[in-house]
Structure 1
Amino acid sequence: MNPIAIQNLRAAGFHLGTWLSLGSPVIAELAGLCGFDWLLIDLEHGAVGESALFASLQALRGSRSAVIVRVGAPHPDLIQRALDWGADGIMVPHVDTAEQARAAVRAARFAPHGTRGFSRSVRALDYGMAQEPPSAAPLVLAQIESAAAVSHADAIAAVEGIDVLFVGPVDLSFDLKATEAPLAYTECLRRVAEAARAAGKQAGILNRNAQDAAALHAQGYTVQAIDSDLAILRQHYLELVNRCSQPAE
C-alpha cells in the first residue's frame, strides 16, 4: 500500500485517473509513470486474471498513483485478495444500499473495524518483512449504478469508511431505461454529487470524454477516470488505419 497516495486521494482537489482493462503489467507500469493520481484495475469487465493483477500491482510499486482494484463482485474473499496483494483500495460494483456499503467496508478493514483476515506473509506486508499492518485504511469506492442506488445515495455516503460515491454511467443509464425510472440521468448525477458533498465524501465518475472533465468537476465530480487503456488503443488504431490505409500519392 501507498499511504501517501491514499492520503492524497482522500484530500480535497481534483483527482485524475484512468481505467486499466487489458491486464498488461507493461501498460500498468507505463500509466503509473505518467503522473495519474489514481489508477483502476478492472476485474469486473476487464481482461484481467489473477496472475495479471498480481503482476500489475508489482509493476506499480513505487508509483505515485493510488491503485484501486474493482472487484468482480462484493465478496469478502475477492476484496481481501486484492488488498492482500497490495492494492491501495477497492471499488465495489452495484452498491445499492447502505448495508451493502457497510459490508464492503467491513470486508476491507481489519478488526475491530472489520472482518478482513490478517496474515503477515502477504505482499501488502512485504511478505512478512513488515511488522505491523498499514496504518492507513484502504480506500473504498462504492459504485452507484442504479436508480435504487441513487435513491439511497445519502445513506450510502453516510457510511463510515466509504470514501467515494462513484457513478458507473453505462450501468446507471441502462438501469434508468430498463426500470423506466422517473429520473433523468443528469438529475441522478446531481443527487449523487450532493449526497457525497453533504457527507464530506467525494463523488467520482468514469468519463469517456476528456472535454467533459471541467463540466463534471464543476458539478462536484472530483474523482474522475478519463477513458481506458483499451479505448485509447482502439481510438488510435482506428485513426491510424483511417489516415494511412490510402496514402496520398
Structure 2
Amino acid sequence: MSIELLLVLLLVGVFVGILAGLLGIGGGLLVVPSLMFILPYAGISEKIVIQLALATSLATIIVTSASSAFNHFKLGNVDFYAVKWLMPGVVVGGFLGATLAEWIPNQYLPKVFGVIVFFLAIKMYLSIHSQAKRAMPGAVMTTLWGSGIGIVSSLAGIGGGSLSVPFLNRHGVEMRQAVGSSSVCGLVIALSGMIGFILHGFSVAGLPKYSIGYVYLPALFAIASTSMLTTRIGAKLAVRLSTSTLKKVFSIFLMLVSTSMLLH
C-alpha cells in the first residue's frame, strides 16, 4: 500500500473516532464505503473487497468502540440494564451476521446495507419532534432485539449504533445514554463479527499479504491509530449538543451513507 493511501486511511480514522464518540457508532458506516473505494487502489481484487471492508471495519470498531465506551462510562452515559440484556443477543447475532455475509452474493451486500441504513435515517429524522416513548421490553425480548441488531450490524460491518441508538431512544433511554450504551454493545458486536470473518476467511485464496482471514492489517492499524485519539472529542460534543441536534446529525449522516452504498 502506498504512502498516499495510508495517509487517506489515517484521515478516515480521525473522522471515525469523532463519529464514534458523538453518535455511539463504531465508525463502520464510514469505514466500509471508504475501504470499498480505497482497497482496489492497493491492488486488491474486487471479488473480495466487500468482505475485507466488512471484516476490517469490525476490527477497527473494536478499538473505537472501546475508547468511546470508556469515555462515555466516565461521563455517566451508560444504561446498565439495557447493556446487560442486549449483550447475550449481540454476541450470537454478531457471529451469525458474519456467516450470512458468506452466503449472500457480493453484488447484493452493499444494497442490503444501503436499504437498512436508509430506513434507519428516515425513522430517526421522523422521531426528532416525536415525544412518544415505549417502555423497555423485558429481558428476553431485549436479548432477542440484541440478536437482530448483532446479525444486521455484523452483516453490514458496523458496530450497531445505527440500530441500537434508535432502539434505545425509542424505548425511553435518553439520547446521550443511548449513545454511550451503544458504544458498549458495539464493542461486543465487532469482536464477535470479526472472529466470524477471520474463521471464514482462512480458507479463501487470493487474500492480500498481511491479512488474518478477511481482516486487512495495514488498513486496521492506520484507521485505529488515529480514531482512538479522537473519540474523546466526539464524546465531549455529545454532552454539549442537544438531543434534537444529535438526532439531526445522526439522520443526515445515515442518509448520506445509504445513498452512497445504494449507488455503488
Give the alignment's TM-score, normalised by structure 1.
Answer: 0.28
Question: Which structure exhibits the higher relative contact order, with contacts defined as CA atoms closer than 8 Å and separated by 6 or more residues?
Answer: 2
Decide which structure has the larger Cα Rg and report it: 1
More strand by share: 1
Give the alignment's TM-score, normalised by structure 2.
Answer: 0.27
